[in-house]
C-alpha cells in the first residue's frame, strides 16, 4: 500500500462509520417520534401514555446528544490521524522527554487527555441537563469533579505498568513482540477482574453487606440451588449518582460478589430481585462469561497480529505524517495510531457481537425462569424498563447495531410464551 493511499482509506472509513451511525440514530428518532402518542400493544395497560411519551422524549434527547458527540469525536480522530495533530503531539513529546519510556507514557497520556477534553462537555451536559431534566441525576458538581479526578488517577496507576510493559516488548521483543504484547493484554484483563471489584469500585461507591435477612436467605438458597459460590451479597449506593437501578455479578474466583443497587432494592419485591439475580447467575452457569472472554481474547490475538504486520511496514506511520526515525525511536506511537484508526473498521461487526449477546440474554432469562419464577422476572423487567424510562419501541435495524440486550418487549414475550 502506498503512503498516500492509507490516509484516504482511513479517512473514508471514519466518514463511513460516522455517517452510518448518524443514519441509525436518525432512524431511531423518527421511529419513536412516530409512535409517541400510542403505547405499544405489549405495554398497553402497563405503562401510562404520559410515561411512554416521557421515555420517548428522554431517548430522543440522549440520541441527539450522542450524535453531536459522535461528530466531534470523529472530527478529533480525523484531526489527529489525517490533519497532522498526532505528528505534532509526537514531536512535542520528543522535544520534552526524548524517545525513552517516559516519552511513551507521555504520548499515551496526552492522547487520552485530548479525547477526555473532547468528551467532557458532553458528559457534563448528559449529567446536568438531560439526566437532571428527567429526574435521574443525583450527582453534585463536586462529585462529578471528584469522579473525574479519581478516574484519571486510577487510569494512571493501572495503565502505567501496562503501557510500560507493552512499550518494552515493542522495543525488545523482536519480530513476534505482538505475541508477547497480546499475552500482557490477556493477563491485564484477568488481573482487572480481581482488582476492580475489591480495590477500584470501593473508591467510587460504598458497598455494604446485605442487611435484609429474609432477602439474604432467599439469595443464599438460590446460590445453593445453582451451585454458585460468591464472597458476599452487597448493596451499592448507586442512588448518590443516578436514579437508574441495576444488579450485577462482578469479579473472578475469590473476588466474585453479588451487587444490588440501593435503587433496585426500593423498586423490586424480594421475589423479583431473586429472579433478576437468577438471570445473572444464568450467564455464569451457561458459561456466557467464559465464552465472551475467550472470543474477546481470540479476536484480540488477530488484531495484535495485524498490528505486528502493519507496524513493520514503512508506509504505515509515514501515512499519518510521522517521520520514520520518530516511529522507530518511539514504537509506541505506531500502536497508538493503530488504536485510533481501529474503531472505524471494527464497528461494522457490532451487529454480530450484539446478536451473540442477545442470544445469551434469552438463554439467561430461560435459566432464571427455571430456577425461580418467570412471571417474577417479567415483572422485574417491566419495572426496570419503566424506572429507567427506556423507550417501549425501537427500530429493528437500530436495535441490531446498538442494543446488546433484546428489547424488553421481546424478553417479556419470550417469558410469557415459556410460561
pTM of the model: 0.89
Number of structural domains (the chain) is 1
**Which residues are tagged catalytic?**
280
191 belongs to a structural domain: no
88 belongs to a structural domain: yes
Measured between alpha carbons, how far is 234 from 65 in angstroms, rounded to an integer?
34
pLDDT one-digit tens code per residue, 236-260? 887 888 777 777 777 666 667 778 8
Q: What is the pLDDT of residue 222?
A: 86
Residues 6+ apart with CB under 8 A from 299: none
pLDDT one-digit tens code per residue, 304-316? 999 999 998 989 9
Ranking 50-64, 97-111, 232-246, 325-339 by mean pLDDT, the lowest is 232-246
217 belongs to a structural domain: no
Q: Which domain holds residue 6?
A: 1-137+282-419
pLDDT bin (cut points 50, 70, 90) of residue 201 is confident
Give the mean pLDDT of 64-77.
97
338 belongs to a structural domain: yes
- The position carrying cell 452457569 is 285
pLDDT one-digit tens code per residue, 271-306? 998 999 899 888 888 999 889 999 999 999 999 999
Answer whether residue 176 shows pLDDT above 80: yes
55 belongs to a structural domain: yes
Residue 358, number of CB atoms within 10 A of its CB: 19
203 belongs to a structural domain: no
345 belongs to a structural domain: yes
pLDDT bin (cut points 50, 70, 90) of residue 419 is low
Q: Are strands 257-261 and 247-250 parallel, antiparallel or unpaired?
A: antiparallel
Answer whether residue 1 shows pLDDT above 90: no
pLDDT one-digit tens code per residue, 28-40? 999 999 999 999 9
221 belongs to a structural domain: no
Amino acid at each position: 500500500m502506498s503512503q498516500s493511499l492509507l490516509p484516504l482509506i482511513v479517512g473514508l472509513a471514519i466518514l463511513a462509520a460516522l455517517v452510518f451511525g448518524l443514519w441509525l440514530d436518525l432512524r431511531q428518532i423518527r421511529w419513536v417520534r412516530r409512535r409517541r402518542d400510542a403505547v405499544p400493544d405489549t405495554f398497553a395497560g402497563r405503562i401510562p401514555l404520559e410515561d411512554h411519551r416521557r421515555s420517548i422524549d428522554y431517548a430522543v434527547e440522549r440520541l441527539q446528544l450522542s450524535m453531536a458527540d459522535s461528530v466531534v469525536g470523529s472530527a478529533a480522530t480525523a484531526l489527529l490521524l489525517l490533519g497532522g495533530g498526532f505528528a505534532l503531539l509526537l514531536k512535542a513529546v520528543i522535544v520534552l522527554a526524548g524517545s525513552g519510556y517516559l516519552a511513551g507514557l507521555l504520548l499515551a497520556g496526552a492522547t487520552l487527555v485530548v479525547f477526555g477534553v473532547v468528551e467532557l462537555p458532553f458528559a457534563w451536559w448528559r449529567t446536568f441537563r438531560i439526566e437532571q431534566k428527567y429526574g435521574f441525576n443525583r450527582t453534585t458538581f463536586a462529585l462529578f469533579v471528584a469522579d473525574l479526578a479519581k478516574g484519571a488517577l486510577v487510569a494512571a496507576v493501572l495503565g502505567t505498568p501496562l503501557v510500560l510493559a507493552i512499550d518494552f516488548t515493542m522495543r525488545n521483543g523482536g519480530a513476534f513482540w505482538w505475541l508477547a504484547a497480546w499475552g500482557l493484554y490477556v493477563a491485564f484483563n484477568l488481573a482487572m477482574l480481581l482488582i476492580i471489584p475489591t480495590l477500584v469500585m470501593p473508591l467510587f461507591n460504598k458497598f455494604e453487606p446485605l442487611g435484609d435477612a429474609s432477602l439474604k436467605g432467599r439469595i443464599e438458597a438460590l446460590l445453593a440451588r445453582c451451585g454458585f459460590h460468591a464472597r458476599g451479597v452487597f448493596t451499592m449506593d448507586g442512588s448518590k449518582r443516578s436514579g437508574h437501578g441495576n444488579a450485577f455479578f462482578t469479579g473472578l474466583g475469590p473476588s466474585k460478589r453479588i451487587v444490588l443497587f440501593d435503587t433496585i432494592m426500593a423498586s423490586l419485591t424480594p421475589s423479583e430481585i431473586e429472579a433478576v439475580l437468577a438471570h445473572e447467575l444464568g450467564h455464569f452457569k451457561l458459561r456466557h462469561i467464559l465464552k465472551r472472554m475467550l472470543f474477546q481474547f481470540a479476536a484480540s490475538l488477530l488484531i495484535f497480529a495485524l498490528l505486528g504486520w502493519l507496524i513493520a511496514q514503512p508506509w504505515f506511520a509515514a501515512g499519518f505524517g510521522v517521520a520514520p526515525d520518530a516511529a522507530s525511536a518511539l514504537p509506541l506511537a505506531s500502536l497508538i495510531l493503530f488504536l485510533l484508526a481501529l474503531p472505524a473498521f471494527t464497528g461494522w461487526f457490532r451487529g454480530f457481537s450484539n446478536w451473540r449477546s442477545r442470544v445469551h440474554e434469552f438463554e439467561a432469562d430461560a435459566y432464571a425462569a427455571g430456577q425461580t419464577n418467570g412471571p417474577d422476572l417479567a415483572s422485574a423487567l417491566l419495572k426496570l424498563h419503566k424506572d429507567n424510562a427506556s423507550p417501549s419501541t425501537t427500530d429493528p435495524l437500530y436495535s441490531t447495531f446498538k442494543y446488546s440486550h433484546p428489547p424488553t418487549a421481546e424478553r417479556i414475550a419470550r417469558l410469557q410464551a415459556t410460561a
